[in-house]
């Protein structure tokens, strides 16, 4: 039976979603890959309600049944895109869709029955994924038009092309690969869309056989991507591609503007082979043509102290911008510099001319991070998640197991929170989550966040 009332966490527009009540729980993907500990990964449930007696503590865990998944990105089965004219009726934001990056399994986790004690209700084995799609190493999850979309790094053999597969909204059955005409698209990483204009955008990292054993400098020029691709979402056909500078490599997170009338968004490029800098590019529709412009450059810093082996020849520390997030009002862009340890906040009211308004140091390669609670935290700011009202930013420190070990050694997982008011940005001195020996990657906020939902109304 189809309910007459839509899920109360769905909002027709980003403007209305900003008015949602603050999140009370966060779900964090935690992994043991790279630590030497042979234990299954888990999804931690964290209390993020400030006046709660268990504030900033893990109050629940979903223990996975297998070793070696390497939890990475995950998402909801349904979100505000269900309210679009071509949306799917009768669904609710009830399940987390959690793929294993290394295993290619998919876990369906029910958070409705008990939000602090979610339970696994379905496991889709990697053999099913590979047989029906030809893809492996699953990454980004988005709830979209008529299905659940998941990106994959590569094919069954660990080479390319990578792409996108689709799950049924109701049964979670693997339907198949999404692309009908990919053209010359080969590398894959992130994707997102503008639903009313039926446009999808995808980005490039590298194939599994290139990235899984760690970064090799000799692979940068030939094996890592520097393009973004634009697709007809309905026809499932690639329309155009843009090179983001010949010297740049690793085009990662795509953050389209939430206002669907704005045909633009940002993407971060991790490293320049010329000077080790990172950059942020604005992609946009100019008439009938897609363009992209570099709007932010973040320079590498002089290396001080003991550097990891991979950086010793350069005597520099690259910023390694590995995540960005855009507030729901499209006003502020948050940038994590995993290498140098900065979280930067830019005012992007003029999308072509971002203005740095605040930054906070949260670790980094060259220094220990002393949290106000007294803990010494190893690592740098990696994944960002911004609350719907834009007032809180949650940060975890693991990038990818083999890369963690190259740049930081055997790090332990932590999560901190920044308070964001107007142009300010400050560390919440009372919020610190210690995940023990496990590492922490993506965070999803109960009810939705700035990178989980897409909208069809301005």
Bond prior to 12 in cis (omega within 30° of 0): no
pLDDT of residue 86: 84
Nearest-angstrom CA–CA distance, 407 and 320: 11
Provide the CATH number for the domain formed by 14-23+75-95+157-445 in this structure.
Answer: 2.120.10
User: Residue 100 gets which letter from DSSP?
Assistant: B
Evaluate whether 334 touches 362 at the Cβ level (below 8 Å).
no
Q: How is 27-66 classified by DSSP, letter by letter?
A: EEEEE-TTTT-----EEEEEE--TTSTTTTSEEEEEE-SS
Per run of 10 residues, the mean pLDDT along the chain (length 458 residues) is 72 97 98 97 98 97 98 97 88 97 98 97 98 98 94 98 97 98 98 97 98 97 97 98 98 98 98 98 96 98 90 96 98 98 98 98 90 93 98 98 96 97 96 97 98 97
Terminus-to-terminus CA distance in the chain, angstroms? 31
Evaluate whether 250 touches 319 at the Cβ level (below 8 Å).
no
| Residue 116 Cα to chain centre, angstroms | 23
How is residue 291 written in tokens? Answer: 């363009």
pLDDT of residue 1: 43
- Those residues with Cβ within 8 angstroms of residue 216's Cβ, 6 or more apart along the chain or in another chain: none
How is residue 90 written in tokens? Answer: 């009768």
pLDDT of residue 4: 52
Residue ranges of alpha helices (H) inside 408-457 are none
pLDDT of residue 231: 98
Nearest-angstrom CA–CA distance, 325 and 236: 26
The overall pTM is greater than 0.85: yes
Nearest-angstrom CA–CA distance, 345 and 333: 6
């Amino acid at each position: 039976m189809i309910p007459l009332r839509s899920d109360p966490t769905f909002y027709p527009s980003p403007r209305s979603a900003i008015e949602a009540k603050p999140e009370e729980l966060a779900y964090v993907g935690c992994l043991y890959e790279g630590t030497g500990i042979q234990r299954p990964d888990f999804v931690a449930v964290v209390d993020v309600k400030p006046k709660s007696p268990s504030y900033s503590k893990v109050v629940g865990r979903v223990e996975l049944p297998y070793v070696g998944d390497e939890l990475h990105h995950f998402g909801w089965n349904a979100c505000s895109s269900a309210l679009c004219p071509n949306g799917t009726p009768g669904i609710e934001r009830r399940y987390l869709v959690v793929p294993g990056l290394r295993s290619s399994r998919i876990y369906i986790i029910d958070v409705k029955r008990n939000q602090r004690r979610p339970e696994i209700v379905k496991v889709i084995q990697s053999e099913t994924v590979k047989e029906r799609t030809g893809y492996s190493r699953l990454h980004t999850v988005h709830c979209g038009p008529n299905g659940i979309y998941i990106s994959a790094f590569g094919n069954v053999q660990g080479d390319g092309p990578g792409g996108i597969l689709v799950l049924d909204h109701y049964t979670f059955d693997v339907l198949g690969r999404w692309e009908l005409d990919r053209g010359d698209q080969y590398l894959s990483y992130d994707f997102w869309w503008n639903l009313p204009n039926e446009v999808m955008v995808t980005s490039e990292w590298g194939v599994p056989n290139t990235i899984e054993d760690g970064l090799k400098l000799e692979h940068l020029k030939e094996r890592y991507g520097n393009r973004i691709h634009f697709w007809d979402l309905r026809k499932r056909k690639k329309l155009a591609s843009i090179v983001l500078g010949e010297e740049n490599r690793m085009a990662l997170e795509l953050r389209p503007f939430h206002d669907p009338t704005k045909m633009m968004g940002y993407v971060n490029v991790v490293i320049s082979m010329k000077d080790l800098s990172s950059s942020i590019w604005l992609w946009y529709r100019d008439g009938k043509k897609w363009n992209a412009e570099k709007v932010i450059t973040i320079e590498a810093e002089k290396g001080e102290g003991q550097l990891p082996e991979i950086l010793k020849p350069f005597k520099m520390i690259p910023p390694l911008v590995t995540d960005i997030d855009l507030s729901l009002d499209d006003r502020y862009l948050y940038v994590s510099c995993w290498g140098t340890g900065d979280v930067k906040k830019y005012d992007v009211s003029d999308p072509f001319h971002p203005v740095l308004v605040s930054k906070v140091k949260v670790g980094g390669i060259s220094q220990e991070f002393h949290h106000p609670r007294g803990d010494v935290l190893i690592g740098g700011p990696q994944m960002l998640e911004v609350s719907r009202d834009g007032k809180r930013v949650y940060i975890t420190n693991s990038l990818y197991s083999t890369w963690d070990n190259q740049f930081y050694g055997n790090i332990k997982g932590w999560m901190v929170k920044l308070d964001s008011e107007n142009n300010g940005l400050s560390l919440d001195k009372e919020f610190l989550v210690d995940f023990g020996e496990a590492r922490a990657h993506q965070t999803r906020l109960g009810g939705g966040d700035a990178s989980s939902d897409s909208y069809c109304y301005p």
